[in-house]
Structure 1
């Protein structure tokens, strides 16, 4: 599932390529991917343009010139591709927004969605999300951690605690902090809590720099998106050598989450 770095990569790209261009056509091939009737959705979106694209947690928010918003959550398997009909991927597109000859394809939205909302509805939809990692101060993080008793992995992926972190980057953050992903938050020393906080922004920043780990191209010739997949430290590297100490990376399953870690330097 795309996490904060993937959605931030998409946001930056889209803001450079689709803003203020009229939406000339809207194609809906899966009604369950939207939250209104097909014709109502088309009538509301077609002819407008996008003022800007923002990110909140794992969502993208498209502000339309009409004052309404499109809220995107790709969920598991969701992808986007911007191109023309000539280089469009041979994949089923649930939704296509056209900007003249260019098309923004929404692919794999079996669980994901693109919802049309007004400002009140948008605020309500996002109301239960925790703070953004890049905007969260140390004191707030420590206060949130103080109230938690469970393991670090489920804590870090809980969107009501911190928004935007999922399976991949929670493992990378724990590795950076030298903490076992199943350590109890209540058992951490003050020094370890601060070390955990200090690991969040560098890990996410590095992932954004490498274009996230989702390696499906955003456009033809895209060489950046997904490069973090080649630069993870522990995520999905079971059996490989730890880049820090040389130990063997292991995988552990806990509460429907899989975690990758080095047992030698993540005690």
Structure 2
């Protein structure tokens, strides 16, 4: 699933090309992706000019003259500018210049129009890229939960996913099953620094293309080449040489080094 760096990369590649364009028409083919009536959504967006494109956690917000088009990429969604629709195109927005195509093999993404920010988006926690250290420390101390599931909880902190949580915990040398509220200030500070640094580096490298992810221009990211633990089960740790282990924490596959990240 595209996480904060991937969504941020899509927004950055999309915003300068989409802002100012007008939606002339739209067509949809998937009721799984578009839960509103096709005719209703088409009527909402036709004739609307795009004012801005921004990220809210893992959501892409396309702000129009009236209302907001909220897009979630799900597991395999792609939002492509000036690309011809392929066999998995689930939504096509005809612009006054070119096309905006939402492509999704597995139908897990979502597209929805609303007058303002959707309630489920407004209910999310602070952004993982923007949260300050003191606020982060307070949040950790306030929750009796294992640190890995907590970082994945979007109501706690928005934007984190499996890849960058595993990578941040490794960088901070924290076991994924550690209790968040029991982390010392030093370890929690290390986690905050690791999280922010890794997110910034991943954005600079345009995200991790481990499956279907590409940016709005169809270009792959390269942060997957920097992964220290994610997807490397059985391979040697780059620090100590111990085999990276894969376990399940909070019903999510989790990668860590049993030596560098002791319980």
**Fold match, TM over 0.5?**
yes
CA drift at 1:166: 0.7
> Partner of 1:142 in structure 2?
137
Give the TM-score normalised by structure 1.
0.90
Name which of 195, 202, 208 aligns with 1:200: 195
CA drift at 1:114: 0.8
CA drift at 1:149: 2.0
Distance in 2 separating the partners of 1:221 and 1:68 = 27
Give the SS at the match of 1:126: helix
Give the TM-score normalised by structure 2.
0.92
Give the SS at the match of 2:23: coil
Structure 1 stretches of 4+ moved >3 Å? 214-221
- Structure 1 124/23 Cα, relative in aligned 2: closer, same or farther at 3 Å? same
Q: Does 1:19 align with 2:19?
A: yes
> Which structure 1 segments of 5+ residues have no match?
none
Q: How many residues align?
A: 259
- Structure 1 184/53 Cα, relative in aligned 2: closer, same or farther at 3 Å? same
> Partner of 1:77 in structure 2?
76
> Partner of 2:5 in structure 1?
5
Distance in 2 separating the partners of 1:219 and 1:60 = 12
Distance in 1 separating the partners of 2:151 and 2:81 = 32
Compute the RMSD of aligned alpha carbons. Answer: 1.8
Point out which structure has higher relative CO (alpha carbons under 8 A, 6+ apart): 2
CA drift at 1:260: 0.6
> Partner of 2:30 in structure 1?
30
**Contact residue 34 and residue 116 of structure 1 kept, 8 A:** no
Give the SS at the match of 1:134: coil
**Contact residue 35 and residue 116 of structure 1 kept, 8 A:** no
